[in-house]
Structure 1
């Protein structure tokens, strides 16, 4: 009887531990938490970018640096996302933002001979990826 009770207690403890472990794995980051962390990152960096963009004509390098900082900040935030619906969208948006930042830096380096086609293309791609991310975060 004592051995049966011990076996039953061990089995129940094993089931309880497995349930707790699986719950932790399945729980992970919620969609809301993933979207909030990205939104905070964008909010912080976007005010700096807005300010420097308004001064693009007088300080194109400063505007490019702000865009690069925002892209880096967003890439870091996207790297922290683990939620399976949001993660691929955040990664695509980060890649698009980095592409735009690179094209924008080229524009800032030579504003008299701009490659506007590249900037427009990467800007559209960035806009499309952020629209998809925003849509996923609002559903």
Structure 2
């Protein structure tokens, strides 16, 4: 898989996950508050992340920096979540984003030797954990 396709797949995967989360975080007040934190964090990062990751092939450093920024923002947001139903899933999503950011950083430091399988696996893990987080928000 080429770097451009990998970057586009990454961006599409993250946006799909963000879209899923934005469609429904309801339930009890504390669950709703926890899901609002997740939603707000993703909304703020969505535009920048889309632009940076989609141009990863042309500017891998910018793509990597955008993913790192999202991972840090999400980690900070996860620190604000205390709901017992949402916290375990948001922690898994945070760990998946951190792993994806690490793979993007490796790829940006040496694009010629980027591991498309590792990037694809990291994207799949992000999608899976965010799907689980979405389910926790639906309650």
TM over 0.5: yes
Superposition TM-score, scaled by structure 1 size:
0.76
Instruction: Please list the CA deviations of residues 5-53 of structure 1 after superposition, one character each: whole Å capped at 9, or x if unmatched.
Output: xxxxxxxxxxxxxxxxxxxxxxxx7100000111100110121110112
CA distance, structure 2, for counterparts of residue 53 and residue 75 of structure 1: 19
Which of structure 1's runs of 4+ aligned residues deviate more than 2 A?
Answer: none
Tell me the residue number matched to 2:133.
133
Q: Higher relative contact order at CA 8 Å, sep ≥6: structure 1 or structure 2?
A: 2
Instruction: Please list the CA deviations of residues 53-75 of structure 1 after superposition, one character each: whole Å capped at 9, or x if unmatched.
Output: 22212211011000000000000
Count of residues paired in the alignment = 111
Name which of structure 1's ranges 117-126 and 70-79 shifts more when overlaid on structure 2: 117-126
Tell me the residue number matched to 2:100.
100
Q: How does 1:1-139 map to 2 (within 5 A)?
A: 30-139=30-139
Unaligned runs of 5+ in 2: 1-28
RMSD of aligned residue pairs (Cα, Å): 1.1
Unaligned runs of 5+ in 1: 1-28
CA distance, structure 1, for counterparts of residue 126 and residue 55 of structure 2: 22
Post-superposition shift, 1:111? Answer: 1.3
